[in-house]
Structures are given as C-alpha cells and as structure tokens.
Amino acid sequence: MSDRFYMQMVETTGWAPGYKNTSTIEEYKSRFGSTKRRKTMSWTDEKKQEVIDMYVGEEPTPENSMEIVADIAEQVEESPNGVRMILTKAGVYVRKTPAAKSSGGSGGGRVSVADAQSSLTDALNDAGQEVDSAIVSKLTGKAAVYFTTIVNNLNN
C-alpha cells in the first residue's frame, strides 16, 4: 500500500498496521482507550425539543438566525448544520432572505426590439418631441427601454 493510505490512517486513528513509528494496536488502545476517533451521539427526541425551545426562545430574525444556531450548536456540542437540520424539519428555522438578483438593466423582463422602439417613439411623441426614426431604429432593445423610462420619468 502507498504512504498515503498509512498517513490517512495515522491522521485519523493515530495508528496504522505495519507503518513506521507507530505503536502496536494494543499499545494504542492502552494509551487512548480506543482506535475510533469520536463517537457520535444520535439525536434524541428530548434533545431535539430542547434545541427547538432554545431557538424559539431567542426570537430569531433573518439577520441573527445563523448566530443563534451557532451558539446553540456550541451549547449542545453538535454541528451547526445538524442543529439547522433539526430546526428546519421542525419548521421553526428562520431562513435569511437572499438578496435580489440584479438583472443588469432597468427594464422588467424581455421585450422585443420593435416593441421597445415603438414605445420609445410613443413616449417621445407624448413629450411633444420630433422623432428621428433613423436613430430610433438603430437602438438596441435595452437602450430603447432605458430611454423610454427616462422620457416617461421626465414627462411625469
């Protein structure tokens, strides 16, 4: 076997069979009691209810929910992801609201170029301006929507 296998064994258990500079399994057990890393405890119903009560008692908001979960996880000696899973399954976890995605433009949704150009022409006519169709026809859809909103804002 490669050194990688032995090094992983030594890192996880402190012992690897036949690897240099490691004790025998009996010496390791006498020093540390076991060859296993950490015994994980399962979630009992009482522990779940305790975590839920602690969380609800803190009156979580989307801004402080993650900090509350981290504090509770430290108190009950569990991982924050495990605590969050229990709270989510119970239906009490307050999720942080994600930021709205920027669409890159001021328009709302897709509009065809012809429709955007005609709405710009209408907005310019409503403003009492003369429309040069040669210039308007060369605008992209986004540009036409942008200028339409500006002209409409100026009209109002």
**Domain span holding position 132:** 113-155
Note the pLDDT of residue 29: 63
Residue 16 lies inside a defined structural domain of this protein: no
Residue 14 lies inside a defined structural domain of this protein: no
In the structure, what pLDDT confidence band is assigned to residue 18 with cuts at 50, 70 and 90? low
Number of neighbouring beta carbons within 10 Å of residue 145:
24
User: DSSP letters of 118-153?
Assistant: HHHHHHHHHTTPPP-HHHHTTS-HHHHHHHHHHHHH
Note the pLDDT of residue 144: 92
| Angle, CA of 44, 47 and 52, to the nearest 5° | 125
Token pair 């994980």 is at which residue?
A: 40
Note the pLDDT of residue 13: 78
- Of 105 and 8, the structure prediction assigns the larger pLDDT to 8
Note the pLDDT of residue 110: 79
Residue 57 lies inside a defined structural domain of this protein: yes
Residue 20 lies inside a defined structural domain of this protein: no
Residue 25 lies inside a defined structural domain of this protein: no
Contact between 94 and 65 (Cβ < 8 Å): yes
Task: Give the model confidence (pLDDT) of 47-76 as tens digits.
Answer: 999 999 999 999 888 888 889 999 999 998
What is the average pLDDT across 131-144?
90
Residue 40 lies inside a defined structural domain of this protein: no
Give how many domains the chain has, as a whole number: 2
Please provide residue 138's backbone torsions phi and psi, each rounded to the nearest 5 degrees: -90, -10
- Of 74 and 4, the structure prediction assigns the larger pLDDT to 74
Residue 66 lies inside a defined structural domain of this protein: yes
Residue 17 lies inside a defined structural domain of this protein: no
Task: Give the model confidence (pLDDT) of 77-134 as tens digits.
Answer: 888 898 999 999 998 988 877 666 655 555 456 788 989 999 999 888 888 888 898 9
Note the pLDDT of residue 52: 92
